Amino acid sequence: MKKISRRKMIQFGILSGLVSALGVNAGIAKASVLIPTPDETEGPFYPVKDQQDKDADLTQIKGHTVAAQGQHIVVSGQVQNVAGYPVAQAALDIWQADAHGRYHHPRDPNPARPDENFQGWAIIRSDENGLFRFKTVMPGAYPASGSWIRPPHIHFKISKPGYRVLTTQMYFPAEKLNLSDLLWNAKSERERTAMTAQRVAKQGNLPVYEYNIVLDLLRR
């Protein structure tokens, strides 16, 4: 076996110390396990009419005395890059159907009556640690075609300079309709796992779901 000189050993020791101090090992380890959150179709119901209230509480519209119908929930998570580092001040554009499976969109064919007290759309930012949190309702399922019922899901579009814009959908765990969803079944098992929130706690009587998002670097 080739001997390593004392000088080389000292150099390796210094380099190892620098790597440890800078957290490079952790970054490499994280990069090997984090994949970018998979893309998904934006869908036909992205909001087309602007609204004043797009804050982090979708259950209560400013000026309304009545809250949105349905099960209120909290969604929280962290925006990271593929190396596992937090992405601060990422813009999260969030929209979804109400508890009846109806979007605030003029071309939504769902015959369900829309909930006029549901905000339906939010634009928020991750904090300095990449964390985000919002309150909403459990979205209802709705017919996409005669034989296709879409499971509950929330749409996200995440952007940050230097990163590729990600449009995706967050699914909920243990939903039977996931198994028959055409978009869900087009993904690999690993991709489905990355796109599915986990129920982690309760805040009072509100279920809390964790959904972490991984952004890919913008390729030049």
Q: What is the pLDDT along the chain (220 residues), one digit of tens a residue?
A: 444 444 433 333 433 343 344 344 444 444 456 999 999 999 999 999 999 999 999 999 999 999 999 999 999 999 999 999 999 999 999 999 999 999 999 999 999 999 999 999 999 999 999 999 999 999 999 999 889 999 999 999 999 999 999 999 999 999 999 999 999 999 999 999 999 999 999 999 999 999 999 999 987 6
pLDDT at 220: 65
Query: How far, CA to CA in Å, does 99 sit from each of 53, 165, 209?
Result: 19, 28, 17
Q: What pTM value is reported for the model?
A: 0.85
Rounded to 5°, the CA angle 45-46-50 comes to 120
- Tens-place pLDDT, residues 79-136: 999 999 999 999 999 999 999 999 999 999 999 999 999 999 999 999 999 999 999 9
Query: How far, CA to CA in Å, does 6 sit from each of 2, 96, 138, 174?
Result: 13, 63, 63, 58
CA atoms within 13 A on the CB side of 38: 18
> In degrees rounded to 5, what are phi and psi of residue 22?
-85, -5
Distance CA 107, CA 111 (A): 11
Other Cβ atoms closer than 10 A to 186: 12
